[in-house]
Amino acid sequence: MLKVYAAKWCPHCTKTIEYLKNNNIEFEYFEIEKQSEETIQKIIEINGGDDWVVPTLEFNGNWRKGKVYNEKELGFDLNKLGLK
């Protein structure tokens, strides 16, 4: 199942969640600020090592770095992950 690491205060996260729901893509939501230090470090590593960036997505060990919301790009990236 797709894992979404996000923050409730993040507008790009909200739009990503809305896109997933509208396209009937099942996902599990993880509030980034409530994750273990180990998980946060992994998110930082995935995003280049400076800080965590949301929304960061993971599906079957494949990651999508946190990005500004763009519907076409999100659809393309989900397809690359094997979800669309």
Query: What type of residue sits at position 57?
Result: L
Residue written as token pair 């923050």: 7
Residue written as token pair 């999508």: 64
Whether the per-residue pLDDT at 80 is higher than 90: the answer is yes
Q: What is the pLDDT of residues 17-69, one digit of tens each?
A: 999 999 999 999 999 999 999 999 999 999 999 899 999 999 999 999 999 99
Residue written as token pair 């946190």: 66
Map out the domains of the chain with their CATH numbers: 2-81 (3.40.30.10)
CB atoms within 10 A of CB 6: 23
pTM for the predicted model, two decimal places? 0.93
